[in-house]
Structure 1
């Protein structure tokens, strides 16, 4: 049983002095981030595979229990047919060898254009992947949220293979008008899909897309608490990745949720602990 809490990145211009130390080189940001969080959503791999020296440096900068959750590259998830992309997926996994021992999950984020007609290809792709790693699949096609045959077939496929259905909760960011540049960008880019809460594998994954203003988020994340605790009580691991529209206050939001789960995060660098030993 493990609870992995992290953000969508380990560095942000607003974080020095808040999450990151003030005088850190860019190459040291991950090490500072990993003093607080035990996982990160690796989005850069979607655009290209990091080089071996970077992967080895990242492995050296994180503790043994830290877990990376890289996304499969777009060449696997967004180009061509899933049926044909197994060699590309296997090559990607081979390139991650320097920190394979710290891979928490590999995430296949499928576009909205990928619908039920590709379920057979998805099954063959998943069947080709190494069994010693964990996988998560995120879908955006409306048919996979319609509670019909397509969604049942998709969920059954994941259940049979022990693959986790990634749960996206973007409700907070759409709960108010897009009256800032960050919100307008989020409204344009973030998927607005229904929240279907289901654990199809041993490690449920939640991607929580918060509003920049903390007051908007409470009513959306509080109902997740008993679900997360229930999965932990069942002996499952849970991955919770916290975003906000601009990510400036994402560390504070993650810390607030962690405290509510009775898994308080360590004190941030440069901050004195509260009387309870917690930052927030």
Structure 2
């Protein structure tokens, strides 16, 4: 995410070497979805560079490779899983959670497979699971079954809230593309662990994005008051303003929970001048 072209010259300087972009992103936000690991496992050298560009409190939510989750569906995946775990090891404490995003076809009948897979992961890693099969959201028995497995392993259920996005028809090319790709599922706001992870998708229009996240501001503030440490990712279809929106969301939560630490001061995207 930190290499998005739309951010260059706005949130990060341009030109900027690739090995410096994460450092600048980390001055805007203190967490990132490591989504590129879904498509290919990076080298240890690359991950070491990520660690070097971020402080020890920075949070990576690192997605498991699609080879493991989508192609092999968590079965006979020991080799690619081992390579992935070895590659992300340099993150150390920055690896906030391993993100197990499952395909929409992975349903209630597959929960025993998920349980066995999660039990086989190293205990040192926190786990966050995102499911997209409708039954987990509409069938109370399926939801309870999944919650029981996750809670027993102190693993979190990651909601991907697209309700604001699908509330009205798309109005831009980016929204039209997302309309065909993003899951349309009921809202879920229940946390299972002390470290909830939320993914929220708004609209290209800022006002509609902000209006749609109001419930999450209250939920996140409530979690903080309970002693939880939530991580919330703010998306829009084009993500062009995502860093600024994430900071705005954080500020709105701080109004309700003043003891929440502020985000860092961003590194200027342009050199400071005397005039």
RMSD: 1.8
Partner of 2:268: 270
Deviation sequence 1:175-234 (CA, Å, 0-9, x none): 332232101111011111111111112211110111011011222211112211221122
Instruction: Report the alpha carbon displacement of residue 93 of structure 1 after superposing the two structures with TM.
Output: 1.1
Matching of residue 28 in structure 1 with residue 26 in structure 2? no
Partner of 2:88: 96
Q: 1:150 to 1:178 in 2, by over 3 A?
A: same
1:134 paired residue among 109, 120, 126: 126
| CA contact 2:151–2:193 (8 Å) conserved in 1 | yes
- Structure 2: runs of 5+ lacking an equivalent: 255-260, 271-275
Structure with more contact order per residue of length (Cα contacts < 8 Å, sep ≥ 6): 1
Deviation sequence 1:41-65 (CA, Å, 0-9, x none): 0010001111111111111111121
- Structure 1: runs of 5+ lacking an equivalent: 1-8, 273-280
Partner of 2:162: 170
Q: Distance in 2 between matches of 1:189 and 1:106?
A: 23
Q: Distance in 1 between matches of 2:238 and 2:162?
A: 14
Matching of residue 199 in structure 1 with residue 191 in structure 2? yes
* 1:89-128 matches, cutoff 5 A: 89-128=81-120
Instruction: Report the alpha carbon displacement of residue 85 of structure 1 after superposing the two structures with TM.
Output: 3.0
Q: Secondary structure at the match of 1:96?
A: helix
Deviation sequence 1:1-21 (CA, Å, 0-9, x none): xxxxxxxx1122121232112
| CA contact 2:28–2:243 (8 Å) conserved in 1 | no
Matched residue count: 264
Q: Distance in 2 between matches of 1:103 and 1:146?
A: 32
TM-score (ref. length: structure 2):
0.90
Q: Secondary structure at the match of 2:157?
A: strand
TM-score (ref. length: structure 1):
0.89
